[in-house]
């Protein structure tokens, strides 16, 4: 059976696969569109599995909020180029919207959710891997919901940093967004000093005490010195005790007024992923040779 350009175009629109792959699929299935789609799906899953060992440390972080619900999500790819690909960005935004709607417990639960009526999220991701030609992974997400307040989101540097905060109580949207921007800039580790784990405080106190004693300070005032320096320690790592970047005359806690910040998530793209250092020219050559 003769394969027409219109058949190839139709299959490309359905599958998102490349022109030559579509032509081959139609040839292999005697021009049957449905069979050709299945052929490409099988091929796509195989191609995705071949790419699964490659390090995906680039990609994008998105953070979106809708009233009292929001999500911050990181999806990784191998190169920064893909983060600007419309198909990739559309897929990530669709996943974020799905998380807001379905509230999955974790990434594995998310992957099993229906994506488009025909594929689940994991299958859709495999097809995208096949189409774009890079390994990708849905790495992590945090979904936040508050009862009487607002969820504010902020994305910095085109998806390099994403922040999501939940605030209970009455607060202006601009102020809530300003606090989210502060989290992106200052990178606090905790919301309040009560959230700091005891081991971290113990280690910091021990270091400060030894430093004060070694400097020759009298033992009678060492504890006062350590207490003062611990306050500085808390102000560096606790959001509510930091100077608000939008108004440095105020602490964040003061800027919030009666509103209560109940959750905070800050994702920095690729943090904690061990990137494999390779010669770029050699990497390109290897990809060409590997097809």
Q: How far apart are the first and last CA of the chain?
A: 28
Least confident range of 109-118, 128-137, 164-173, 261-270: 128-137
- The reported pLDDT for the residue numbered 233 is 94
Better-predicted residue by pLDDT, 64 or 14: 64
Q: So what's the pLDDT on residue 120?
A: 95
Of the listed ranges 137-141, 198-202, 220-224, 275-279, the one predicted with least confidence: 275-279
Whether the per-residue pLDDT at 90 is higher than 50: the answer is yes
Closest CA to 148 of 168, 166, 171: 168
Of 19 and 179, the structure prediction assigns the larger pLDDT to 179
String of DSSP letters for 116-146? SSS-BHHHHHHHHHHHH-S-EEEEEEEEEE-
Under the banding of pLDDT at 50, 70 and 90, the label for residue 172 is: very high
* Mean of per-residue pLDDT scores for the chain: 88
H helix intervals, 187-248: 198-214, 219-237
Q: What is the pLDDT of residue 20?
A: 78
In a domain, 160, yes or no: yes
Domain that holds residue 207: 193-259
Same domain, 218 and 266: no
Q: Which residue has the higher pLDDT, 223 or 180?
A: 180
**113 and 182 assigned to the same domain:** yes
* pLDDT confidence of residue 201: 93
| Per-residue model confidence (pLDDT) at position 282 | 56
DSSP state of 78: S
Name every residue whose Cβ is closer than 8 Å to that of residue 62 and which is 6 or more positions away in sequence.
72, 73, 75, 92, 93, 96, 155, 159, 162
Same domain membership, residue 182 and residue 75: yes
User: 130-154: per-residue pLDDT in tens?
Assistant: 888 888 999 999 999 999 999 999 9
Please state, in angstroms and rounded to a whole number, the distance separating the CA atoms of residues 11 and 23. Answer: 9
Same-domain check for residues 62 and 181: yes
For residue 89, the surrounding DSSP H or E stretch is: helix 86-102
45 in a domain, yes or no? yes
Tell me, yes or no, whether 161 and 112 share the same domain.
yes
CB atoms < 10 A from the CB of 96, how many? 21
């Amino acid at each position: 059976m003769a394969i027409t350009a219109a058949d190839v175009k139709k299959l490309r629109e359905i599958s998102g696969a490349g022109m030559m792959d579509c032509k081959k699929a139609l040839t292999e299935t005697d021009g049957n569109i449905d069979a050709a789609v299945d052929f490409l799906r099988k091929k796509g899953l195989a191609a995705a599995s071949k790419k699964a060992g490659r390090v995906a440390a680039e990609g994008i972080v998105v953070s979106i909020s809708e009233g009292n619900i929001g999500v911050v999500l990181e999806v990784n790819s191998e190169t920064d180029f893909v983060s600007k690909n419309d198909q990739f960005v559309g897929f990530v935004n669709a996943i974020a919207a799905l998380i807001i709607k379905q509230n999955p417990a974790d990434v594995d639960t998310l992957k099993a959710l229906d994506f488009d009526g025909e594929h689940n999220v994991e299958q859709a991701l495999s097809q995208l891997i096949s189409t774009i030609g890079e390994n990708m992974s849905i790495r992590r997400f945090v979904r936040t919901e508050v009862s009487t307040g607002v969820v504010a989101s902020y994305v910095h540097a085109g998806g390099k940093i994403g922040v999501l905060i939940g605030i209970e109580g009455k607060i202006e949207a601009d102020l809530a967004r300003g606090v989210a921007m502060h989290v992106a800039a200052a990178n606090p580790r905790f919301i309040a000093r009560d959230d700091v784990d005891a081991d971290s405080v113990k280690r910091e106190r021990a270091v400060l005490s030894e430093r004060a004693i070694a400097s020759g300070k009298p033992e009678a005032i060492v504890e006062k010195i350590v207490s003062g320096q611990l306050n500085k320690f808390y102000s560096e790592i606790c959001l509510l005790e930091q100077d608000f970047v939008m108004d440095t005359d105020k602490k964040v806690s003061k800027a919030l007024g009666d509103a209560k910040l109940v959750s905070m998530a800050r994702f920095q793209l690729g943090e904690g992923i061990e990137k494999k250092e390779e010669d770029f020219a050699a990497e390109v050559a290897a990809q060409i040779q590997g097809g």
